[in-house]
Amino acid sequence: MSPDRLAVRKTYKLYVNGAFPRSESGRTYEVADAKGAFLANAAWASRKDARDAVVAARGAFAKWSGATAYNRGQVLYRVAEVMEGRHAQFCEEVAAGEGLSSSRARAAVDAAIDRWVWYAGWTDKLGALLGGANPVAGPYFDFSLPEPTGVVAVLAPQRSSLLGLVSVLAPVLTGGNTAVVVTSRARPLPAVTLGEVLATSDVPAGVANLLTGDAAEIGPWLAEHDDVDAIDLTGAPADRAMELERLAAGSIKRVVRPPAEEPDWSADPGLTRLTPFLETKTVWHPIGL
Amino acid sequence: MSTQTPPTHSLFEYAPAPESRSIVDIAPSYGLFVDGEFVDGSGTPLKTVNPATEEVLSEVPTATDADVDRAVRAARRAFTRVWGPMRPADRGKYLFRIARLLQERAREFAVLESLDNGKPIRESRDVDVPLAAAHFFYHAGWADKLDWAGLGPGPRPLGVAGQVIPWNFPLLMLAWKVAPALATGNTVVLKPAETTPLTALLFAEVCRQADLPPGVVNIVTGAGETGRAVVEHEDVDKVAFTGSTEVGRSIARSVAGTRKRLTLELGGKAANIVFDDAPIDQAVEGIVQGIFFNQGHVCCAGSRLLVQESVHEEVIASLQRRIGTLRLGDPLDKNTDIGAINSAEQLARIRELSDIGEAEGANRWQPACELPERGYWFPPTVFTDVSPAHRIARDEVFGPVLSVLTFRTPDEAVAKANNTTYGLSAGIWTEKGSRILAIADRLRAGVVWANTFNKFDPTSPFGGYKQSGYGHEGGRHGLAAYLEGGQ
């Protein structure tokens, strides 16, 4: 960039149903870097935005959950490919938002991209690992298979704005669920850029919806929404987690409770974030001539 | 061959063939089973009645908060000192012993279950008790193989499990809860249902015969308040509940914000879908098995029959003919197909929802059927002209009441089947294999029976989607509910 050229700045918006709308409320909030300097005005998602996102996620569920595991794996791998092309941009945003050195920011971005690759490889193995034939005591063929739970609301980690976000979003999508994510409130910018990646990675519209804003405000609406099947409270404020879990009980949502402290996201996640958002379907059929 | 009007009544008269109740010795009153001993409860005792005769069978204590606390302490002690540190193979051996004792005393359990619950002896003898024994046998084998359960190396038990079970399969639900908990190294405090405590108390005696260490299994009787005390006790690590969605919701609220793990097996409103290419006679048997098994007191009952329009008349005619041959009456009679409704309260609910069905415009059909003078009875009932908006198509009746709806295309069948807040089970009847797999794939339900219905096995995970609950019972999946790192 030549020194006398004035940069074109980005408008940071929501990512809902494959598009980038502003909040219907017209609200924005100031996002600052780790030192407090102004970075951008982010869209401040409202209740209506959350509800729109749930409608989009429900609408996308049949196609995404019905896609072959191989196809889902390729799409998720494509996310990693497209992220790789924006590596520098992610590093800059993560470094600014989280106050990391450039080498630590790079490590976080590397790990985030690699996490998509890791999960991409899981889609077509879960069935064999978590399902199987059941040797029932009778003339029946009986098998169980994992299936996605449905629409999952995710309150993303507040500190780790990209690696943490990917670590909670990717497993939800891997299982075939669709997601409505509330991003880190103070560090939402990498999430918006991730939305741009998802929009150009063959992830069908509505499969992942990213709302920048306040989990304490939006969380209760998602927790009590009857068309949300599960909620991940990882990024919920500690003093609100119990209330959110109580609200989620109204429609028997699957709940992932928040950890006492935000974990080290670079650790191997195992299956711990996949299985909470998987159901098991068991099918019986008689054996006979 | 000449065509004949099918008989609407039983072809044969059957002489009564009652199973003797002399094999069971029911005490006039029982204690709570805590720390290996039968002890008095502090609350007002409950009378448990035979729903077929309204005869009082026995009196059981009501466990108060203090009684439950004693039971949880006993369970904690047993977990810390005995059951947790025990060699896994030895835990397995205790479970094998229990399985064998249940088999040895099977007839006694079956008769007692039918007396206390009202279910036909044919079902308690052939289904409930053998399956309960099978659950213990299956889980016994897991006790020393948990490293292979796919939950990571060295999975650890949670501690004390508080378990609350319903009245529809009293002993079987006990087995579904207790066997996996014990196999994985947990200890339990179990509360049987208010109206069906007796087989749980007989099971306590089995635990003593097996020399199970005191405190590993504790049984506290009582009503909802006792259940609440078990669920809310702060030293309980794990709550497992089977029952209504309404109570499940309140339990999920009460464990919110705690470290307790929770599994819920709740209500259902299963669609049983009959396509026009189904083997109609087999389908009719399956429909009958789906809704009238255990008087329809089954969370996974096939209570919504979805029939393809072109075979609707044929299916209904055949179904009515078959229902006309069902024998309702004395649960201890080996010929009985339909026993007593478990309680006056449940009978009132079935009557209320059936009346609402009629009031909302559905057509009620019941066979000519004589009901015994005493006891709680409801005849097998079929509603036709049911719309998806009717209460009898939406609410769980938990009785012998079938709602019939029709569909034209597979898409419509799937849409109607999934049009419920529940997601426990479903049925598919068709001779076309590819259709079975396509429909099974699209049904949002945890168990799908194709060309069969209401089959259960300890190796086969059972659990619901949506508001039918979460977690599984049975199979490798069921172990996860009782181990750290499992979901």
CA B397 to CA A44: how far, in whole Å? 45
Tell me if chain B has a CB within 8 Å of the CB of A229.
yes
pLDDT at B11: 61
Residues of A within 8 A of B289 (CB-CB) are: none
Provide the whole-model pTM.
0.96
B191 three-class SS: strand
Q: Which of residues 258-297 of B touch A (CB under 8 A)?
A: 264, 266
On whether the CB atoms of residues A64 and A77 are closer than 8 A, the answer is no
User: Is residue A235 assigned to a domain?
Assistant: yes
User: Is residue A21 assigned to a domain?
Assistant: no
- Nearest one of B202, B229, B232, B234 to B217, comparing CA atoms: B202
Structure tokens at A154: 């995710």
- Nearest one of A46, A39, A55, A41 to A23, comparing CA atoms: A46
User: Which of B103, B131, B245, B457 should one mutate to test binding to chain A, selecting the residue with the greatest count of A CBs within 10 A?
Assistant: B457
A289 band by pLDDT with thresholds 50, 70 and 90: confident
Q: Indicate if the pLDDT at residue A27 is higher than 60.
A: yes
Q: What is the mean pLDDT of residues B227-252?
A: 98
Tell me if chain B has a CB within 8 Å of the CB of A246.
yes
User: Is residue A8 assigned to a domain?
Assistant: no
Q: Indicate if the pLDDT at residue A263 is higher than 90.
A: yes
A1 band by pLDDT with thresholds 50, 70 and 90: low
Q: Indicate if the pLDDT at residue B5 is higher than 50.
A: no
CA A23 to chain centroid, in Å, comes to 19
- Reported as a single tens digit per residue, the pLDDT across A202-248 is 999 999 999 999 999 999 999 999 999 999 999 999 999 999 999 99
Q: What is the mean pLDDT of residues A261-280?
A: 95
Residues A246, B257: C-beta atoms closer than 8 Å: yes
Tell me if chain B has a CB within 8 Å of the CB of A138.
yes
- The rounded percent of chain B whose pLDDT value lies above 70 is 97
Count of beta carbons in the 10 Å neighbourhood of residue B222: 28
Looking at the structure of chain A, the number of domains it has is 1
Supply the mean pLDDT for chain B.
Answer: 96
- Reported as a single tens digit per residue, the pLDDT across B336-366 is 999 999 999 999 999 999 999 999 999 999 9
Residues of chain B with CATH 3.40.605.10: 21-266+468-484
- CATH (residue range B271-450): 3.40.309.10
Overall CATH class of domain B21-266+468-484: alpha beta
Sign of the C-alpha dihedral, residues A271, A274, A278, A281?
negative
Q: What is the mean pLDDT of residues B375-394?
A: 97
Q: Indicate if the pLDDT at residue B2 is higher than 60.
A: no
Structure tokens at B320: 């009515």
- The rounded percent of chain A whose pLDDT value lies above 90 is 98
Tell me if chain A has a CB within 8 Å of the CB of B141.
no
Report DSSP letters for B311-325, one per residue: GHHHHHHHHHHHHTT
Q: Are strands A254-256 and A230-232 parallel, antiparallel or unpaired?
A: parallel
User: Is residue A9 assigned to a domain?
Assistant: no
On whether the CB atoms of residues B399 and B295 are closer than 8 A, the answer is yes
- Reported as a single tens digit per residue, the pLDDT across B72-103 is 999 999 999 999 999 999 999 999 999 999 99
User: Is residue A23 assigned to a domain?
Assistant: no
| Closest chain A residue by Cα to residue B448 | A283
| Closest chain B residue by Cα to residue A126 | B150
Q: Any idea what the CATH number is for the domain that residue A150 is in?
A: 3.40.605.10
Q: Indicate if the pLDDT at residue B449 is higher than 80.
A: yes
Tell me if chain A has a CB within 8 Å of the CB of B447.
yes
CA A255 to CA B26: how far, in whole Å? 44
pLDDT at A3: 77
Locate tokens 């219905």: which residue? B453
User: Is residue A35 assigned to a domain?
Assistant: yes
ipTM value for the complex = 0.95
User: Is residue A22 assigned to a domain?
Assistant: no
Q: What is the mean pLDDT of residues B271-276?
A: 98
Domain of A76 in residue numbering reads as 28-286
User: Is residue A14 assigned to a domain?
Assistant: no
The verdict on whether B225 is a catalytic residue reads no
Q: What is the DSSP letter of A152?
A: E
A126 band by pLDDT with thresholds 50, 70 and 90: very high
Q: Indicate if the pLDDT at residue A91 is higher than 90.
A: yes
Residues of chain B with CATH 3.40.309.10: 271-450
B41 three-class SS: coil
| Among A132, A275, A285, beta carbon nearest to B487 | A275
